A and B are shown apart, each in its own frame.
Chain A
Amino acid sequence: MIAPAKSDLVTVNVDGKEIAVPKGTNVIEAARLVGVDVPYYCYHPKLTVVGNCRMCLIEMGMPAVDPVSKAPIMDPVTGKQKINWIPRPQIGCATNASPGLHIRTNTPQIKDCREGVMEFLLINHPLDCPICDQAGECKLQEQSTGYGRGYSRFIEQKNVKPKRTQLGPRVTLDDERCILCSRCIRFCKEIAKDDVLGFVDRGSYSTLTCYPGKALANNYSLNTVDICPVGALTSTDFRFKMRVWFLKQTNSIDTESSVGANTVVWSREGVIYRITPRRNDEVNDTWLADSARDLYKPVRAADRLGSPLVSGSAATGEVAMAKAAEFLKSSAGSVAVVGSGRSSVEEQFLTRKLATALQASTHLVSRTGEGDKLLISADRNPNVRGALVIGLIAQLPKSTLGELGAAIDAGRVKAVVSVGEDLAAAGLTTAQLAKVAIVYLGTHANATTAAAKVVLPTLMTFEKNGTFVNQQFRLQKFFKAVPGPTGAVEDVAVLARLVAGCGGAAVAGEINTLWTTIAAEVPALQTVTFANLPETGLLLDATPWATLPFVEGETLHYKPAAQPASS
């Protein structure tokens, strides 16, 4: 966060602790800064404030001044300025920091308010935690432990509401669990711009629903599940699959476009169960596209490459890598290296090293699509800018490998190394593929693996550490969540072996050590180590590439630089 100017800071007092916060900061956030927890349900830092849950009630006071002279009124006992406390509790979420604002959260009145709201929220709640997916990450559970009375005085019949409404293809609603906080409604209206949710009926019978004839089908629908403080909105995909407390959380990055939304990968015993957004106020706020949550599905796909292949026959990794290196070295001078905008910065760095060792030409394939103005940009490669930063390419990639095809036809290229790119999909013909010897590093079977001389199975993003450079030139890291399949070897290790085998200078095939080399050789990354790279990423200097005609349009927290009109 950019530090605000001193003049914009106001001093507020929370439970006796003074803190300077930017003017207008709401009391929940201000209290958080001094370590005071103000519980809430409906408030969300990225949505409008509605103040309907009443959980964040606090006592509020202002320094007393004489109504006429405006002189401070002092308290004779303490010698300090008297505080005029408002007798009615106020909601913290709609109370903004102003000079001298005093807040009390630890009084008997506030304790009673919280107990009251907790009791009210639970009387018509089914209390079906044992079968509820939200258990373990449920605000209602947490706050009833923290602020509730611990017993119920309710002996009446609970309200009955719809139990398993399909709001859309990916979201299931249990209305009885809903506490009517309206976060999902506000999200659809304000962020997804797809105003399909609303309440019908009134009072305690209010029911969340989709408007008639509509469905919650937009590509951000699962964010409503993330922000639902209770188990009302559940992911149709994840529900009843796994208890959240068994899951390991690993920080990762969304690879579906150059936005680089920050994510958390939830896994257990080597199996991924879900992907959720990770807050980064400079990139994706707290949101993530639905499509990004499906990216782990290919990890256990049937066409996943498991065993290295030499001329179509299974071989050990050692043999396959030695064969590939031997073979490429012998073709040095007439080799082309096809890198990838999906590879990590480290892999692209080693790809460049390999190309240098083989005096090979380098190629990259672009992937584009329509941007959604939110978290999916027009550039569907997560790391084209990484390739620019480490010098694998100097220009933006084209959508096909036309130049490479021509070089093959002309006989200038006899061998091709492809780092995860399906050459057939990138425009090379079957005839062209047949003319060259192919070394393929990748994760899944495709037309190129079928034609390749050597196939070296590697890892998916979820199975390794690495970094990407997003559209903002923000260097962000991702971590290994699960182990790769037997037979697959980490990409950087394979590339380092090939570099060495092809006569290049020895280079580490392990991320942390590799970064000392990268930092030493790439000026833009001089001070970076993998370990010290912040979780929210590091913004790199983009000026060297300012004139390139990047394809991205405006997305959340990204505005493209003004481009010179294309001819």
Chain B
Amino acid sequence: MAAPSQRRIIFKHIDEPGYTNDLACYVRNGGYEMLKKAVAMQPAAIIDEVKKSGLRGRGGAGFPCGVKWGLVDRKSGKPIYLVVNADESEPGTFKDRYIMHQDPHQLIEGIMISAWANNVKQAYIYIRGEMPHGARILEKAIAEARAANFAGPNILGTNYSCEIYVHRGAGAYICGEETGLIESLEGKRPYPRIKPPYFPAVLGLYQCPTIVNNVETLCHVKHILEMGGDTYAKIGTPNNTGTRILCVSGHVQKPGYFEYEVGGITLGQLLNEVCGGPLPGRKFKAVIPGGSSAKILKFGETFTLKNKDGSSRTLAVEDIPMDFDTLAACGTMGGSGGVIVMDDSVNMVEALANINAFYAHESCGQCTPCREGSLWMKKITNRMVHETARPDDGVLLKSVADQIAGRTICAFGEACSWPTQSFIAKFGDEFKGYADAKKNEEAAPLV
């Protein structure tokens, strides 16, 4: 079956020849019309449209955006903040960066519509520290939007005002976790908060109700308003609506970013047809479908899933549609849309060592299991690769990961243990074989 074609909504103008990231170009292409439409609407009506659209967060967890907005405490009398999570730091993910670099006004329009809908007076874009260029572009775009009265005081002649501020992170993965991000925004170490009681919707930034949304998610809000929530909900598959950007990296012929209807393309179509298949002479071995923290899928394994009518279907890795629910049912996740492909040239022990090094470096160190466990796992895989490997190291690795997942303050516990758990579960033989190979290597004469 031929792969469906891309449906570019968010990425409509990305890489379009002649399309620039200044205000004039954006307006020329119909920009800010939806903001004009929004300020003529009741805020609650916009929230309704977002709820109807079924939009799910594109940052990683896939939490329904409308539900998130609905949880915001609007009775506290405190200001409501909108925080844009532009800390895109999940390895394998590179979508928000392109939105900010090439179409920053799309994000700003999405922010302003969402701010209007939620009566937000101050919005913060928390941008990853490693993206100074993006921060400069955003600053310039915000200044343009302010000058044109699309942001700032009394937008579009209304008495509604909302300022947008860009805040640069200092280079920590954990700042992508929403409560860690909030702490960092408050000027503290980005230690994620305990939930309960610190749910951002109630006790977020400066202990005020706060909405934290991903860049791509907020951009969708503009398009939901344009086509209406019900129409948007028809894109994609039920409960997995809209389009999403998939970032493919690793061992394919043509890596890159692609925007498809959610669930509108299978993993096999994406890798084989869109990305040109494996490199010459190689075979696909494994794929991480949603950023490095997602559990790995092994080519050749199959999944038996229950259908709604009670029957069941069996899927190979290639058959998995790239939506939230099916990926979850297959034991992994859509995550942030970062698809990392590994072919048969990859040694899984070394690949895991790489991932473990990342998570050990990025653990904030606040709570015990993640702090100690992530570094321990790194030390084990490092030793396996660079010193000696023991046949039981895989068992130990899995046990350490099991002691982390589900027991930490934030989802980093899962993020750092899922790779290890899934690598060992699916490539356990390779870990054992690696030890045996190391042993032979050592036993070999030194001459």
Contacts and interface: CB of A to CB of B under 8 A. Distances in A.
B37 to A, nearest CB: 37
Given A204-B363, A204-B374, A205-B365, A57 B194 contact: no
B406 A116 contact: no
B368 A53 contact: yes
Contacts of A52: 191, 366-368, 409
A156 B400 CA distance: 14
B372 A202 contact: no
Interface string A44-87: 00000111111101000000000000000000000000000000
A349 B184 CA distance: 61
Given A89-B407, A156-B379, A121 B372 contact: yes
A401 B383 CA distance: 77
B368 A121 contact: yes
Contact of A117 (B191, B363, B365, B368): B368
A206 interface: yes
B408 interface: yes
A55 B372 CA distance: 14
A198 B365 CA distance: 13
A49 B195 CA distance: 12
Contact of B365 (A89, A112, A121, A204): A204
Contact of A199 (B360, B365, B407, B408): B365
B197 A203 contact: no
B194 A180 contact: no
Nearest to B390: A155
Contacts of A113: 403, 407
B362 A203 contact: yes
A123 B403 contact: no
Given A51-B409, A156-B379, A203 B363 contact: yes
Interface string B361-389: 11111111101111110011001000000
Interface in A90-128: 91, 94, 112-113, 116-117, 119-121, 123-124
B189 interface: yes
Contacts of B366: 50, 52, 180
Interface string B184-227: 00000101001011000000000000000000000000000000
Contacts, number: 98
Interface in A227-256: none
A116 B407 contact: yes
Majority DSSP secondary structure for residues of A touching B: loop
A179 interface: yes
Contact of A154 (B374, B376, B407, B408): B376
A153 interface: yes
A157 B189 contact: no
B403 to A, nearest CB: 3
A153 B371 CA distance: 17
A201 B399 CA distance: 27
A50 B194 contact: yes
B172 interface: yes
A6 interface: no
A202 B172 CA distance: 10
A406 to B, nearest CB: 62
A51 B194 contact: yes
Contact of B376 (A57, A123, A205): A123
A88 interface: yes
Interface string B387-415: 00000000010010011101111000000
A156 B381 CA distance: 11
Contacts of A154: 376
Contacts of B172: 202
Contacts of B407: 54, 57, 88-89, 113, 116-117
B368 A54 contact: yes
A120 B368 contact: yes
A206 B375 CA distance: 12
B368 to A, nearest CB: 5
Contacts of A124: 372, 375
A105 B408 CA distance: 18
Nearest to A154: B376
Given A51-B409, A89-B406, A116 B374 contact: no
Contacts of B409: 51-52, 54
Contacts of A120: 368-369, 371-373, 376, 403
A117 B369 contact: yes
Contact of B408 (A54, A94, A157, A201): A54
B360 to A, nearest CB: 6
Nearest to A115: B403
Interface string B136-147: 000000000000
A199 B189 contact: yes
B283 to A, nearest CB: 34
Contacts of A50: 194, 366
B63 to A, nearest CB: 17
B368 A179 contact: yes
A54 B361 contact: no
B94 to A, nearest CB: 24
Interface in A140-189: 153-154, 156-157, 159, 179-180
Nearest to B366: A52
A123 B368 CA distance: 11
B368 A94 contact: no
A203 B376 contact: no
Contacts of B194: 49-51, 91, 94
Contacts of A51: 194, 367, 409
Contacts of B404: 116
B58 to A, nearest CB: 25
Nearest to A87: B406
B371 A204 contact: yes
Interface string B154-173: 00000000000000000010
Nearest to A201: B365
Given A117-B369, A203-B360, A206-B365, A157 B379 contact: yes
Nearest to A204: B375
Interface string B407-445: 111000000000000000000000000000000000000
Nearest to A179: B368
Contacts of B408: 54
Contacts of A112: 403
Contacts of B197: 94
B368 A202 contact: no
A94 B403 CA distance: 20
| From A57, A123, A159, residue with most partner B Cβ within 10 Å | A123
A204 B364 contact: no
Contact of B375 (A88, A91, A203): A203
B406 A88 contact: yes
A89 B189 CA distance: 26
A113 B402 CA distance: 10
A161 to B, nearest CB: 12
A180 B396 contact: no
Nearest to A207: B365
21 contacts: A50-B194, A52-B368, A54-B369, A54-B407, A54-B408, A54-B409, A57-B407, A91-B194, A113-B403, A119-B403, A120-B369, A120-B372, A120-B373, A120-B403, A123-B376, A153-B396, A156-B383, A198-B189, A199-B365, A202-B362, A203-B360
Given A120-B369, A156-B383, A202-B363, 16 more contacts: A51-B194, A51-B409, A52-B409, A94-B194, A94-B197, A113-B403, A113-B407, A120-B368, A120-B373, A156-B379, A201-B365, A203-B364, A203-B371, A203-B374, A204-B363, A204-B375
Q: What are the 10 tightest A-B residue pairs by CB atom distance, in nearest-first order?
A: A116-B403, A120-B372, A206-B365, A156-B379, A204-B375, A203-B363, A51-B194, A52-B367, A203-B365, A202-B365
Interface of A: 49-55, 57, 88-89, 91, 94, 112-113, 116-117, 119-121, 123-124, 153-154, 156-157, 159, 179-180, 198-199, 201-206
